Amino acid sequence: MASVTPLHRAPAPEPPALHVRAMDNLAFIRDTMEAAGSFTAVSGWGMVAVGIIAAIAAAIAFAQHSAVGSIYVWVAAAALAPCVMLWAIVRKARRAHVPLLAGPGRKFILSFSPPMLVGALLTIVLYRAGVVDAIPGMWLLLYGTGVVTGGAFSVRVVPVMGICFMLAGVIALFTPSSWNDIIMAAAFGGLHIAFGIPIARRHGG
Amino acid sequence: MAKHGTARDDRRPSVGNLRTLRGKSDSGSPASARADALDRLIHERLRLGIVSALAVNDSLSFSDLKKLMKTTDGNLSVHARKLEEAEYITCTKSFEGRMPKTEYKLTAMGRRALERYLDHMEALIRATRER
């Protein structure tokens, strides 16, 4: 039996109003910029610079006669490195005309900062408790955690780098403390340079 | 992400009513006609995406854009070619080792077109609110 087709179809839904389409278009532009912004959120050359600072710090830390002296050197490097990194990120953002505190940049800072804050507080606690040998492992673990969580909004290579830092932290915590400076040099120096160069080449600086 | 249209979508009436939202003073002038043409060019979703992505990057490779826009080689190259012809983007072809590499950059004209487009959209929303 032939099927019956109604002569009058249901009226087509009203097309969206112009302002709704405009808002949709603006949202699309913002989303695309945010997604594409992950290409620029982290400065590869900044990471290379931080790696070089870490390599210099490692050389100075080796020359120290005590674990506390070595920690002082790394604390000085830890104070300098974020300034260099921030400068590199700001420079890259300006060059790409990206607002620094919008989109992925803001998400990265919000995700990266809490582990860094915890790391700073635990450093004071462990230093006062005299457990200085555990500090490098804790730093690496928390730095890696920050990079993994912050890197969730960035290119895939960033969280991978964070995992490598966390592994380095685990190694530092479960190996003799005399290895700490070597592990710190390999992680903060080597990993930053090794991951920084491809990020700089592939993701705009 | 929404499905991107093909190159044929250019024939669809696009922003269409943008001229009304921009005000009546300049309608009919050659400048406004050109502005409307430019708006239509940038309005298509994939092309708007390409321009928006390039606005926040120095340059992007063909494969970066393809991943970002979740589209096919053919579709991306057709739309990129249109933007290139309008001088909104530049295309540089080179070799990385033995692999060919195509890089796109946004031109000053392309950046201005995006800014103008954003102004259009904001004006449209503002006009609705003021009503």
User: Which residues have a Cβ under 8 Å from the Cβ of A188 and sit 6 or more positions away?
Assistant: A50, A51, A54, A57, A58, A77, A81, A140, A143
pLDDT of A56: 94
A22 contacts B125? CB cut-off 8 A: yes
pLDDT of A2: 60
Interfacial residues of B (vs A; Cβ cutoff 8 Å): 2, 17, 21, 43, 45, 48-49, 52-60, 64, 68, 111, 114, 118, 120-122, 124-125, 127-129
B49 contacts A32? CB cut-off 8 A: yes
State the Cα–Cα distance between residues B6 and B45, nearest whole angstrom: 10
* A96 closest CB neighbour out of B17, B43, B58: B58
State the Cα–Cα distance between residues A92 and A72, nearest whole angstrom: 31
State the Cα–Cα distance between residues B45 and B118, nearest whole angstrom: 14
- CA neighbor of A147 nearest in space, from A169, A127, A177, A132: A169
Note the Cα B90 to chain centre separation in Å: 13
Site of tokens 């031109």: B107
User: In chain A, which residue's Cα lies nearest the Cα of B2?
Assistant: A28
Chain A residues whose CB is inside 8 A of the B125 CB are: 19, 22-23, 26
State the Cα–Cα distance between residues A4 and A17, nearest whole angstrom: 35
Angle between helices A192-202 and A157-173 (to 10 degrees): 180
Per-residue buried b or exposed e for A81-110, using 16+ beta carbons within 10 Å of the residue's own CB: beebbeebbeebbeebebeeeebbbebbee
Answer whether A152's CB lies under 8 Å from A159's CB.
yes
pLDDT of A79: 92
Chain B: nearest CA to A98, how far in angstroms? 6
State the Cα–Cα distance between residues B19 and B34, nearest whole angstrom: 11
State the Cα–Cα distance between residues A203 and B4, nearest whole angstrom: 25
Determine the 3-state secondary structure of A43 from DSSP.
Answer: coil
For chain B, list residues with pLDDT below 70.
1-39, 131
For chain A, list residues with pLDDT below 70.
1-16, 37-41, 95-105, 153, 203-204
pLDDT of A17: 76
Chain B residues whose CB is inside 8 A of the A157 CB are: none
A28 contacts B2? CB cut-off 8 A: yes
* A36 closest CB neighbour out of B2, B53, B128: B53
Chain A: nearest CA to B56, how far in angstroms? 5
Chain A residues whose CB is inside 8 A of the B2 CB are: 28
State the Cα–Cα distance between residues A84 and A78, nearest whole angstrom: 10
* B121 closest CB neighbour out of A22, A35, A40: A22
Note the Cα B85 to chain centre separation in Å: 12
Provide the token pair at A137: 């492992």
pLDDT of A103: 60
pLDDT of B90: 95
Q: Which ipTM was obtained for this model?
A: 0.71
User: Which residues have a Cβ under 8 Å from the Cβ of A27 and sit 6 or more positions away?
Assistant: none
- Could you say which DSSP state residue A133 is in? G
CA distances from B65 to A40, A177, B104 (A): 14, 47, 9
Chain B residues whose CB is inside 8 A of the A26 CB are: 118, 121-122, 125
Chain A residues whose CB is inside 8 A of the B21 CB are: 18
